[in-house]
Structure 1
Amino acid sequence: MSIKFASMSPDHVYEIDELPLDERTLRGQNHRRTFYRITQAAIWIAPLYFTARLYFLLRALSPTWKMWAMLGIECLFAHMSYQHQAVSLSAAGSSSQASRKRLRLRNGTSLPTVDVLITCCGESVDIISDTVRAACSLDYPASRFRVRLLDDGASTELRDEIARLSMTWSHLSYHTRGKQSNQSFAKAGNLNYALFSLQSEDPPEYCTVVDADSILMPHFLRATLPHLLKDPEAALVTTRQYFDNLPRGDPLSQARAYFYTCENTELDLMGHAVDAGSGAVFRRKAILDVGGYPTFSFSEDWQLSLVLRGMGKRTMQVQEILQFGLVPTSFAGHLKQRNRWHIGHSQQVSVLFASAKNAIPQHLRWDIATGGLSIMAGLVTYLIGFFAIPTLLFVEGDLFPSRSSFEIKSQVVLAILYVASTWVYNWSRSTHAGVPFMPLAHTENSWLAPAHLYAVFQFHLFGGKPKGSFVTGSSVNCRENASPVKLFPKIHKDVLESGLWLNLSLFASLLCGTLFSLQTLVGATGPLIPRVLSSIAWPPFFVMIISTFYNHWTPISHLLNPPVYPSRASGLMVTESKVPYSSANIQTDHMYKVSMFDRTLAFGLPIVLLGMLVGVLTL
């Protein structure tokens, strides 16, 4: 259907088509109320369970340190689960907020003016050229948008290439501040240079930020601008990241599918979606009002979202397929990219002291700082758990006090109820997002927690500048993205330099600890069921063991069977005017897929929990 409305300017009326929602979004809407109730139940069951656990532990005659350690680890992971559930509850309870509609801006006499800002710093000229061609060919009047290439690499070759392309597209121009490679906060500075210097004369109403390796679909502006035009309080709309070169199965979770479909979709319902970087469209005045892009952190897109939210502005996410980028094609490149993001989160504390604080209210500065500390605390939680779980397996003794059959039954039944409620919540969250259920998707890349903490520690104590450009496809990072020909250099880089040795060690210790615990059970005397349930089969501990195995097997599997990254060229269609676009089969390959292991885990754990329940009730 087609709707008309007046924009913020009374002189302009824009005509917008509202397209039917896709099947995935419709499925999510149908489950929203059920999801809300399941989340409420999970939140209420947790304190009931931990109150009972603490009660039985306090009244135990001689509680061991192992019992207290188990309770402490459970509390740490429960807090992380609660943070997810609290967001889900707020989002699902927002009955006034409908799922993000699919909109299209139709032709008009005077469409909004837009600057497409392409940031680059040392990437291949061929990659940038593809991005520029697609941006210049957007389905939008050429007189109403400009494409500005912002080159922090000061490449003469690139400047000449843009000059050649500008003979075809007159709305394309090249700009540089000089060579900024290896400079801290270079991307934020590059964007602020455009906002405050290049646009000082003839400023556009809206801007789009595009990474050097992101190819925009022709309808990009017509699909994103309507969301800002309809809502005067909306400052920014971000688009989901899709990629041309993902390997089959996405073994390293590089697509961040869970984040986009579950976490950011829920934040979108509350008007707090996190800017994902490339493909963001924003109201220029709103960004200028908050002082431009923050320069106190490497994760300038994330920080901008927090600042806009704190200033009362809404940020949104569009799930449609509107752009395709590239992921790092090596283990080292993937690790380097993720480390940069977490170093950026650790820098959020610096907002309390940085010069940027003059443009940010004090209460908001504290919110940003504590948010960064919370993310770091999550990494510490995973690190503690990864080391504590094998340790507890090697230590003999019960994980909870069991003076009587009543105590055993009460605690095990409550533990099963607690684990089941969390499991059902994760299943329901996935269903609410309209994607197949992957039981441990919420822990994706948690195996990188030790590496992230090491990178944060090393950065703050031994260096104040990033090493390399941190830009996918950059020539500075070519050695991370190229697959070594020789086996031993690759193993050295992946195992030693990238920290995979730690994951190998943890996986081996967990495997040995599990075998030791099973051997201890076989050699012990007394009833088997109570001994099993009070040790390795203690429901929360059992799930932690599975999760740890699952997470640390990810990088090992990557080492033993490296994925094949398809070339971008294999998935591109080039028009007669030499404009590249991603082909339809690449687009369908980005849907959420569930492996056989995930299916087994999804249905296997409820069966195991049911067996535990039957076993404890027979005591």
Structure 2
Amino acid sequence: MRIGSWYLSWCHGHLAIKSSQCAGRSRSGKHSSLFPSQASVATFNSIMADGIVTTPETGSSSADAVQPPRNTLAPAPDTIEPVASSPQNVLSSKDSTRSDVQPQNQPLRFVESSASSSGDEIGPADGPSSAAPFKKSRHGKFAYSDRYEPGEYVIEQLSEYDDVDLVKPWQRKLILIHPIVIVWVFLTYVAYYGYRVWCNYQFRVVYGGLAEASWIFIVVEGVILLPYLSWMAVLLLSLGNRKRPKLRLRGEAVPTVDVLFTTCGEVVPMIINTVRGACNIDYPRDRYRIIICDDDADPNLAEALQPLIAEYPNLVYQARVKVEGVPHHYKAGNLQSGIDYAVHLPGGPAEYLATLDADMIPHPEWLRAILPHLLRDPELALVSPPQTFWNVPADDPLCQSICEFIHYLEPRKDHMGAAWCTGSGVVFKRFIVDELGGWPTPSMAEDQLLSFMMNGAGYKTAYLHEFMQVGMVPESIINHLKQRTRWAVGTLETAQELNWGLPGKYTKHMTFPQRWCIFTFAFNTIMAIPVFIAYFIIPALLYWGRDLLVYVTDDQLRWQIRLCAIWVVSLRINEIVLTLPSGYIQGQRSAMAWQFMTPYLAVTILRCYILPTWLGGKKIAFLASGAIRDRLKERSEMHRAGLWTRIKLMGIHCRIWFFVLFVPYCLGAAGLDWYRAYSQPSTNASLRHLLVNSMLPPMWWLFLAISFCIPILYVFRPPTVPDRDDMMNFDQKTGAGQPKHQEIRQTWGFLPLVREVAWGLTVVYVLVLFVGTFVY
């Protein structure tokens, strides 16, 4: 089914799940749960611990059941029925207590499930026996679940905006005018850039010289701005305000969900706390299962989980079997192992899949908030909530909270129909994942690839802008750098698999905005290499001593200064409009983070994609965010390593020595240029020299030096984060800990404040220059 627009208009009314992909309808009757009793699950867990499953049909044992074959079942397009809607049964927050709403104690009706959500036709009881241990239902067929009829789901609309608590009305108005500001920035830069090129041409015609430094600077500045302008082009494809309603699924009539809880060597107490939180969400326990997918096969984790498995009948554990010499595909392989494993559980697989990372504690209403969006739209394949983090430092020097992505970029992508699977907390329709052949493995960014493949198959993806989970960022700069470089490699692998958004196997039904997102994210990632080179060239041009801006007449100089001033002020206004909806302070940090991360990304891409092995080329390895426990502990006030240890370890593993050399390299270039200006014969000549060299706005050398100081300052003054227990509120009944804060209130750090002052002075400086061109 092809999506012809960014979104189908939202229907108002009672929303319902797709009915079963079979011809028959059930007789009404008493609900037969997908999941068995606590005793049967406990028995099953003990069996699975030995790696053996005994099927009820044959009584035979299989040691391979822990690693079942991939389920490739998929429905034919003509078997997919549309979602029914009934306007009179949709509840708003005002009429949720109406007397005409179906009471909770009224007998519920079910649809006979003669086919799985993957389109698998299950034979009758007297036919050939099924290979999987499906539970025999009251209808005489092997069905892995009973489903509610569409009219039995009760969905309440709380607001017309899902982010009504996060986005203020004035911010929505700011979002509306942002495209106008973007267009203005484009126009002013084209005018300034074009006029400089024309002046360079005129200089060559009159004086016969090439003005090499000026031409190089024009190219270098264009290279640096190209990724920025491509981001702005993405935002131009998302005009208007996003409007996704805030919904809740009420009552006991809910779909079944298999939650794939992935672990890979994280700290056991943290995992146990997240498991407790997931086991105590507001959802009927016989309608969802938590499958621990342990990619590390940690015996300590398996032992620690046993009391919880005995306490919660919907909790199961499996350690993935990795065969030596066979690619295991990191997290993607772990997720697919969990999907396959669910097929062999008592009751079979659920209708929906959800993912949860080991550190991501779900909100109690997690499933009730996400599922209504999937129930109401037959073409919607997944819904993804943002990831928020409780252990981000208040001054967040590394910009780990990614607020600009969470609160601005991803909602805009959602508005244009290109929302990503963000990894954790995501809920999918299982049959669509099966239809695509399972979880994709060619990319380390497996979540990003899956969502784009769903778009290419004609399905929609959505972003729910509500806080439905809270987790942890990497607690060390080393882990942070490994995570971000892995993201970069995964982005390029995704683009390669999807033919960079061009027509191909997986992009058949994509819209232009979806294709442009694939291209832009990959293009900007690979642009780290030329941008890194450009960072070196700018100070080198100042050391060279040739003018960066040339002219034939004074009027040409005046107009270049005027156009430059207009462009710089427009750039600053755009930065303010862009960052205010997501948090102004974090927006400034994001710009700085992009600059100081560029060397790391460039080197990673070179080693992974360009250099041969004998020159240092290597394939980056996957490392979970909390899996590396080094001896720095730089964010712990009690256990932080000493300064000399931090200098040695970070200097080696994080290449801090490069930044120590680059900052003086930038400042030295400016200092040498000022010395040359001081040596000029007159004050007027000195000012002109500075104006066309080191003081030519926006003074790239200055902002690069400020951004590249971040890793250096981090070594000497690492942030302090309180211990986990100090940041948690523990429930006395369940023992589950919930963070006291969804997001830490951000404060100005030293370097962001320095950058802010520099930007303010730059704006004042260009305004003075602009006025001065009409006087002198």
The one-letter code of the counterpart of 2:245 is K
Give 3-state SS (helix, strand or coil) of 1:312's partner: coil
Aligned to 1:532: 690
In 1, distance between residues paired with 2:509 and 2:417?
Answer: 20
- More displaced, 592-601 or 303-312? 592-601
Q: Find the counterpart in structure 2 of residue 104 from structure 1.
A: 248
Matched, 1:191 2:201: no
Q: 1:367 to 1:3 in 2, by over 3 A?
A: closer
Which whole-Å deviations, capped at 9, do the CAs of 1:188-214 have from their partners, x for residues lacking one? 011112224423663222222111111
Deviations 1:158-181 (A, max 9, x none): 222222201111000001222589
Range moving further from structure 2, 112-121 or 72-81: 72-81
CA 1:253/1:47 → structure 2, altered by over 3 Å: closer, same or farther?
A: same
* Residue 589, structure 1, aligned to residue 734, structure 2: no
1:478 corresponding residue in structure 2: 629
Matched, 1:138 2:281: yes
Asked if the contact 2:564/2:697 (under 8 Å) is kept, the reply is yes
Shift of 1:112: 1.5
Q: Is 1:68 matched up with 2:215?
A: yes
- Residue 296 and residue 446 in structure 1: after superposition, are their counterparts in 2 closer, same or farther (change >3 A)? farther
Deviations 1:35-88 (A, max 9, x none): 121122122222222221211111213232110111001211232222111112
In the superposition, relative to structure 1, how do residues 458 and 381 fare at CA in structure 2: closer, same or farther (>3 Å)? Answer: closer
Deviation at 1:574, TM superposition (A): 1.0
Aligned pair partner of 2:735 in 547, 568, 579: 579
RMSD over equivalenced CA pairs, Å: 2.9
CA contact (8 A) 2:247 2:372 kept: yes
User: Structure 2 vs 1, CA of residues 608 and 437 (structure 1 numbering), >3 Å: closer, same or farther?
Assistant: farther
Q: Tell me if 1:506 matches 2:624.
A: no
Q: Are positions 1:563 and 2:707 aligned together? A: no
Opposite residue 589 of structure 1, the aligned amino acid is I
One-letter amino acid matched to 1:402: Y
Aligned position for 2:547: 398
TM-score by length of 1: 0.90
Matched, 1:17 2:157: yes
What amino acid maps onto 1:532 in structure 2? L
Partner of 2:431: 285
Match of residue 303 from structure 2: 160
Compared with structure 1, are the counterparts of its residues 312 and 517 closer, same or farther at alpha carbon in structure 2 (3 Å cutoff)? farther
Structure 2 unaligned runs (5+)?
1-11, 20-83, 85-148, 635-639
Distance 1:159 1:284 in 2: 27
Matches within 5 A, 1:290-369: 290-348=436-494, 350-351=496-497, 360=506
Structure 2 Cα separation of the partners of residues 337 and 161 of structure 1: 28
User: Which whole-Å CA distance do the structure 1 matches of 2:472 and 2:731 have between them?
Assistant: 21
Judged with a 3 Å threshold, the aligned counterparts in structure 2 of structure 1 residues 49 and 261 are, in CA distance, closer, same or farther, namely same
Check the 8 A contact 1:24/1:435 in 2, yes or no: no
Contact 1:439 1:602 in 2 (8 A): no
User: Equivalent residue for 2:707?
Assistant: 551
Confirm whether residue 609 of structure 1 aligns to residue 758 of structure 2.
no
Aligned partners of 1:510 and 1:547: how far apart in 2? Answer: 10
Looking at structure 1, the residues matched to 701 and 747 of structure 2 have their Cα atoms a distance apart, in angstroms, of: 25
TM-score by length of 2: 0.72
- Indicate conservation of the 8 Å contact 2:397/2:589, yes or no: no
Instruction: Count residues in correspondence.
Output: 605
What per-residue deviation string (whole Å, max 9, x for no partner) do you get for residues 137-175 of structure 1?
A: 111111111111001111222222222201111000001
Higher relative contact order (CA 8 A, sep 6+): 1
Shift of 1:369: 8.1
Distance 1:589 1:259 in 2: 16
Change over 3 Å in CA distance of 1:312–1:242 after alignment to 2: same
**What CA deviation, in whole Å up to 9, does each residue of 1:263-322 have, x standing for no partner?**
212112112122221222222222222233221121111222322233333222223222
CA contact (8 A) 1:412 1:616 kept: yes
Is the alpha carbon distance of 1:190 and 1:389 closer, same or farther for their aligned partners in structure 2, counting shifts above 3 Å? same
Secondary structure of the structure 2 residue equivalent to 1:547 = helix
Report the CA distance between 1:481 and its aligned residue. Answer: 6.6
* Residues 530 and 449 (structure 1), Cα distance of their counterparts in 2 relative to 1, 3 Å cut: same
Native 8 Å contact 1:293 1:304 kept in 2: yes
Other-structure match for 1:374: 523
Question: Alpha-carbon deviation of 1:135?
Answer: 0.6
Aligned residue for 1:479, secondary structure, equals coil
Matched residues in 2 for 1:299 and 1:572: separation?
30
The residue number in structure 2 matching 1:88 is 235
The equivalent of 2:144 in structure 1 is none
C-alpha distance after superposition, 1:587-612 (max 9, x if no partner): 35256868644553454332222122
Identity %, equivalent residues? 25
Match among 190, 194, 213 for residue 47 of structure 1: 190
Aligned to 2:18: 8
Amino acid at match of 2:18: M
Alpha-carbon distance change, 352 to 143 in structure 1, aligned in 2, over 3 angstroms: closer
- Structure number with greater Rg is 2
Cα separation, partners in 2 of 1:111 and 1:555, compared to 1, 3 Å: same
What is the distance in 1 between the residues matched to 2:340 and 2:295?
A: 16
Structure 1 counterpart of 2:607: 458
The Cα offsets for residues 552-584 of structure 1, whole Å up to 9 and x where unpaired, read as 011111112111122222111111234334344
Partner of 2:314: 171
Larger mean Cα displacement after TM superposition, 3-12 or 264-273: 3-12
2:352 to 178, 198, 206: 206
| SS of residue in 2 equivalent to 1:57 | helix
Q: In structure 2, how many angstroms separate the alpha carbons of the residues matched to 1:583 and 1:361? A: 40
Q: Is the Cα–Cα contact under 8 Å of residues 418 and 461 in structure 2 kept in the other structure? A: yes
Does structure 2 retain, via aligned residues, the 8 Å contact 1:438–1:598?
no
Distance 1:146 1:136 in 2: 9
CA deviations on 1:489-534 (whole Å, 9 max, x unpaired) are: 4312211221111122111101111111122112123524432221
Out of 388, 395, 398, the position equivalent to 1:249 is 395
> Match for residue 775 of structure 2?
618
Moved more, 29-38 or 342-351: 342-351
C-alpha contact 2:279 2:290 (8 A) present in aligned 1 = yes
Aligned partner of 2:718: which letter? P
Letter matched to residue 629 of structure 2: C
User: Matched residues in 2 for 1:434 and 1:254: separation?
Assistant: 14
Could you tell me how far apart the structure 2 residues matched to 1:358 and 1:74 are? 34
Q: Sort the Cα spacing of 1:276 and 1:591 in 2 relative to 1 into closer, same or farther, 3 A.
A: farther
1:519 partnered with 2:675: yes
Displacement after TM superposition at 1:486 (Å) = 4.5
